C-alpha cells in the first residue's frame, strides 16, 4: 500500500517552489556605479532591480529563492535581511509607511545564497544550484530583465511545464538586428497560440545569421535533468558553459520531455543596458500614483525643448 502511494507521488508533477537567480555578474556596463556595489542593487525608481525579480518569483508562488552570487555581492544579502537599527529609528519616528517598505523586502521570501566561485558562464551558475534544488523542477530568473509586474509570464510558464512535463523558456520577438545579443530559437507551433516547441537553439548567433527573431529572455522553468546535462556541457560561446547549449540537449535528447517556449507579448524592461535602464525607470515611474502625475507633466514640458 505504502509503495503504491509513493509511486503515485513520484509520478505526480511537483508544484514549483524554488527560484534560482544568477547574480554573480560584474556589471561592467555600469562602471563606475558598480565598482563597489552589485549591479542588481541599482535602483529602478526607488527599489533595487533585484527586488522586482524576487517579487515576480513570489507572485508566481515561488517562495524559496536561491541567489548565485560572487565577491562584492554582500549588499544583496543585506537588502533581504533585517536592519534592526533602521527599523527601530523608523518605528520611534512613527514612520510606518517607510517601516513597512523596509520590512517588506525582508519578509518576501526564504532567501538562500551560494557563491559561483569561478565565472564560467550562466550554465555553470545554474549548476551551482544543484545541491539546493535537488531533483525538483525549478525556475531561473535573470536579474537584467524586469517583466511588467502585472504580467503573469512566469505563472504561465509553470502551467505549461506542468501540462507538458517539459522545460520551458520565455521567448520574445526581437528586432532581427538585435538577435545576436540573445539565445535564439527555431520553433514549431503547437495547439496553443502562445506555446511553441523548440527544435533548435543557438547562443548569440553572429549578426545576420540568426535562424529566427525569437529570443530567449531571462525566464526559464527547468526540469532537474538540466543538472545532468550541464555537468557534461562543454564551454561554448565565449568559452563559457552556456545554459542555451544544455537546453538544446534537453530539446533534442530523447528522454527529457523536450523544451517548449512561451511567447511573451507583454512588456519587458531591460535594466542591463544603460539606455534601456533609463527608459525602464521613466516608464515605471510615469505609471506610479505617487510620482506619475508630476513626472508626466514635466516630461510633456521637457520633451519639446529637446533638439536632435
Ligand atoms: C543570457 C543567455 C541568453 C539569453 C539572455 C537573456 O545571456 O545566455 O541565451 O538570451 O541571457 O537576457 P546574457 O545576456 O547573460 O549574456
Q: With a 6 A CB cut-off, is 142 part of the ligand 1 pocket?
A: yes
| Position 7 pLDDT exceeds 60 | no
Measured distance CA(98)–CA(81) in Å, rounded? 16
Assess if residue 86 is contained within a domain. Answer: yes
What span, in angstroms and rounded, lies between the C-alpha atoms of 114 and 107? 20
Ligand 1 pocket test target in 27, 147, 182, 233 with most atoms within 8 Å of CB: 182
Percent of the chain with pLDDT strictly greater than 90:
78
Q: Which residue's CA is the nearest one to ligand 1's atom 11?
A: 218
Atom of ligand 1 nearest to the CA of 182: 10
Using the predicted structure, report yes or no on whether residue 148 has a pLDDT greater than 80: yes
Q: What's this model's pTM, rounded to 2 decimal places?
A: 0.92
Using one digit for the tens of pLDDT, what is the confidence trace for 203-253?
999 999 999 999 999 999 999 999 999 999 999 999 999 999 999 999 987
> Does any domain span residue 4?
no
Domain CATH for 191? 3.90.550.10
Q: Can you tell me the distance from the alpha carbon of 223 to that of 138, in angstroms, rounded to the nearest whole number?
A: 7
Separation CA 288–CA 23 (nearest Å): 27
Peptide bond into 153 cis (omega under 30): no
Atom index in ligand 1 nearest the CA of residue 216 equals 10
In a domain, 3, yes or no: no
Structural domain contains residue 7: no
Measure 144 CA to ligand 1 centroid, in angstroms. Answer: 9
Residue 5, pLDDT above cutoff 80: no
pLDDT of residue 150: 87
pLDDT above 70 (res 58): yes
Burial class (CB in 10 A: 0-12, 13-18, 19+), 246: buried
Q: What's the half-sphere exposure (Cβ side, CA atoms, 13 Å) at 177?
A: 0
Closest CA to 281 of 27, 43, 39: 43
Nearest CA to ligand 1 atom 9: 183
The structural domain count of the chain equals: 1
Query: Does a structural domain hold residue 191?
Result: yes
- Domain assignment present for 264: yes
> Could you read off the pLDDT of 297-307 as tens digits, one per residue?
999 999 999 98
Q: What is the pLDDT of residue 2?
A: 42
Four-residue CA torsion sign, 147, 59, 22, 257: negative
Q: Please tell me the predicted confidence (pLDDT) of residue 255.
A: 67
In a domain, 97, yes or no: yes
Determine the structural domain holding residue 81 and report its residue range: 18-302
What local confidence, expressed as pLDDT, does residue 14 receive?
63
Residue at 8 is within a domain: no
Amino acid at each position: 500500500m505504502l509503495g503504491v502511494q509513493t509511486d503515485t507521488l513520484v509520478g505526480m508533477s511537483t508544484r514549483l517552489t524554488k527560484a534560482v537567480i544568477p547574480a554573480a555578474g560584474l556589471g561592467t556596463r555600469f562602471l563606475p556605479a558598480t565598482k563597489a556595489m552589485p549591479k542588481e542593487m541599482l535602483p529602478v525608481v526607488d527599489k533595487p532591480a533585484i527586488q522586482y525579480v524576487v517579487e515576480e518569483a513570489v507572485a508566481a508562488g515561488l517562495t524559496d529563492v536561491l541567489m548565485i552570487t560572487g565577491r562584492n555581492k554582500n549588499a544583496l544579502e543585506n537588502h533581504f535581511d533585517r536592519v534592526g537599527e533602521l527599523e527601530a529609528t523608523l518605528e520611534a519616528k512613527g514612520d510606518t509607511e517607510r517601516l513597512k517598505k523596509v520590512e517588506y523586502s525582508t519578509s518576501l521570501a526564504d532567501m538562500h545564497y551560494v557563491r559561483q566561485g569561478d565565472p564560467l558562464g550562466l550554465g555553470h551558475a545554474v549548476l551551482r544550484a544543484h545541491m539546493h534544488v535537488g531533483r525538483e523542477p525549478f525556475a531561473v530568473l535573470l536579474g537584467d530583465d524586469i517583466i511588467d509586474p502585472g504580467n503573469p509570464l512566469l505563472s504561465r510558464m509553470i502551467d505549461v511545464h506542468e501540462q507538458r512535463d517539459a522545460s520551458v523558456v520565455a521567448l520574445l520577438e526581437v528586432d532581427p538586428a538585435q538577435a545576436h545579443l540573445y539565445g535564439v530559437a527555431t520553433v514549431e507551433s503547437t495547439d496553443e497560440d502562445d506555446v511553441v516547441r523548440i527544435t533548435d537553439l543557438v547562443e548569440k548567433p553572429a549578426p545576420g545569421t540568426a535562424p529566427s527573431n525569437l529570443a530567449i529572455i531571462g525566464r526559464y522553468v527547468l526540469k532537474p535533468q538540466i543538472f545532468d546535462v550541464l555537468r557534461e556541457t562543454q564551454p561554448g560561446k565565449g568559452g563559457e558553459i552556456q545554459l542555451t547549449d544544455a537546453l538544446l540537449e534537453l530539446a533534442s535528447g530523447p528522454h527529457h520531455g523536450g523544451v517548449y517556449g512561451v511567447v511573451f507579448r507583454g512588456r519587458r524592461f531591460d535594466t542591463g543596458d544603460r539606455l534601456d535602464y533609463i527608459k525602464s525607470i521613466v516608464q515605471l515611474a510615469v505609471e506610479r500614483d505617487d510620482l506619475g502625475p508630476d513626472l508626466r507633466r514635466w516630461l510633456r514640458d521637457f520633451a519639446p525643448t529637446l533638439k536632435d
